[in-house]
Amino acid sequence: MKIVVAVKVVADDQDIFVSGDRSLDYSKARQIISTYDTNAIEAAAQLAADNDGTVVAISASTTKADDTKVKKDILSRGIDELFMVADDSLETADSYATAQVLKGIVDANASDYDLILCGDGSADLYAGQVDVQLAAALDVPVINEVTGLKVEGDKVVVERTLEDEVEEIEVPLPAVISVSPNVATPRIPGMREILAAGKKPSSVEGLAGALETKVEVEDIKAPEMTPRKNEIFAEGDIDAFAAAVAEALK
């Protein structure tokens, strides 16, 4: 069985700071695997292991993602090979544009795939649309919010968890499936896996042609904070605090 998992490499938002003019300062931010993609990677690795399959990771990220440590991180999580396209125009690329690039990687390196897994949404844009766009581009079915998967011949039966109901859906392969974080807890890569990662194949290419963006980003700024009264009381002033709260609740 051949499984593909889409992985986005992003800046660690814990290290992104807001400058005086409300623009974002990424200078101290290291590159990491987008959080929910680690769950998708784990689900893909477990599925491959359970079904005697192979699993490759594909990624459309910025040139900063071509970082030996983050690539080894991906490869230390049960992934056999990594195919990356790195271009800075991908930083805020919309889902249509990203999906075309991912389709290109799949066509060139894994066209005989059975299943493509995606995470719930990337840490930066959290659009949750790349799965749909990729499925449309590849002309295959797609389902999201999947919390459990089982391969049954040429289909995958999934547990799909919505707010009020849980569905059991049979998905014909090949298909794209977007998994929720609870689908699998990411493994803790041990030293064996970390050492082996450095020896696994991985390739990084540039964009072959211009990015087909469908959305223009005009501005990115930290939000203006809604002006708040900021009346802060000390623990001893509980009476005054309670009075202010009572007034606000009227």
Instruction: Name which of residues 178 to 217 contact another protein (CB under 8 A).
Output: 181, 187-195, 197-198, 213-217
One residue of 49, 107, 157, 206 binding another protein per CB under 8 A: 157
Stretch that binds another protein, among 50-58, 78-86, 111-119, 125-133 (CB under 8 A): 125-133
Q: Which two tokens stand for residue 235?
A: 């623990």
Q: Kindly give the pairing relationship between strand 17-18 and strand 142-152.
A: unpaired
Stretch that binds another protein, among 43-51, 101-109, 203-211, 235-243 (CB under 8 A): 235-243
One residue of 137, 151, 204, 207 binding another protein per CB under 8 A: 137
One residue of 1, 108, 123, 207 binding another protein per CB under 8 A: 123
Distance separating alpha carbons of residues 47 and 190, to the nearest angstrom = 20
Question: Can residue 225 be called a binding residue for another protein (CB under 8 A)?
Answer: yes
Question: Can residue 230 be called a binding residue for another protein (CB under 8 A)?
Answer: yes
One residue of 48, 58, 142, 179 binding another protein per CB under 8 A: 142
Left (φ > 0), alpha (ψ -120 to 50) or beta: where does 161 sit? beta
One residue of 41, 60, 97, 149 binding another protein per CB under 8 A: 97
19 Cβ neighbours under 8 A, 6+ residues apart: 25
Left (φ > 0), alpha (ψ -120 to 50) or beta: where does 33 sit? beta
Question: Can residue 124 be called a binding residue for another protein (CB under 8 A)?
Answer: yes
Q: Which two tokens stand for residue 221?
A: 């700024």
3-class SS of residue 96: helix
What part of residues 67-86 is at the interface with another protein (CB under 8 A)? 68-69, 72-73, 76
Question: Can residue 89 be called a binding residue for another protein (CB under 8 A)?
Answer: no
Stretch that binds another protein, among 41-49, 53-61, 103-111, 242-250 (CB under 8 A): 242-250
Stretch that binds another protein, among 48-56, 79-87, 95-103, 110-118 (CB under 8 A): 95-103
* CA 197-122-108 angle, 5° bins: 55
Query: In the bound complex, what is the minimum distance in angstroms from residue 113's beta carbon to another protein?
Result: 15
* 8 Å CB contact between 201 and 81: yes
Amino acid at 61: S
Q: Which two tokens stand for residue 219?
A: 């501005």
